[in-house]
């Protein structure tokens, strides 16, 4: 499930992701509540993604931590995500990264 999520962001194709209707996504620059808001925010982010390198996935039951290097239009950003999957649906994603490269690119 987590690999499918990462690949969907990599390909900017989130159509078939099993997202819980009340999914919560918390990131340094935004918080998304509900599937519509989460997918809209993820699609906007996916547009700047050139490549995602998965350096490590750690899975323990319904919890997964993904350590990633995400090559974006702003450069490569080290990224960590805590993803919780319940009954085959993503219910929460908490991303950790330094947003400064993106903030500098917005000015």
- Tally of structural domains, the chain: 1
Range of the domain at 6: 2-106
- pTM of the model as a whole: 0.86
53 or 107, higher pLDDT: 53
Instruction: Supply 71's token pair.
Output: 């090559």
Phi, psi dihedral angles at 17 (to 5 degrees): -75, 130
CATH number at residue 24: 3.10.450.50
Report d(CA 50, CA 52) in Å as an integer: 7
Residues 34-88: tens digit of each pLDDT: 999 999 999 999 899 999 999 999 999 999 999 999 999 999 999 999 999 999 9
Check residue 105 and give its pLDDT. Answer: 58
Q: Helix or strand or coil: residue 69?
A: strand
């Amino acid at each position: 499930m987590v690999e499918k999520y990462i690949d969907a962001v990599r390909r900017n194709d989130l159509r078939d992701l099993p997202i819980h209707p009340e999914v919560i996504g918390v990131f340094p620059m935004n918080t998304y509540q509900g599937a519509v808001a989460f997918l809209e925010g993820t699609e906007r982010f996916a547009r700047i993604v050139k490549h995602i390198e998965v350096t490590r996935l750690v899975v323990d039951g319904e919890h997964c931590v993904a350590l990633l290097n995400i090559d974006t239009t702003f450069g490569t950003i080290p990224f960590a995500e805590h993803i919780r999957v319940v009954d085959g649906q993503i219910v929460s994603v908490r991303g950790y990264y330094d947003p400064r490269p993106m903030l500098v690119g917005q000015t």
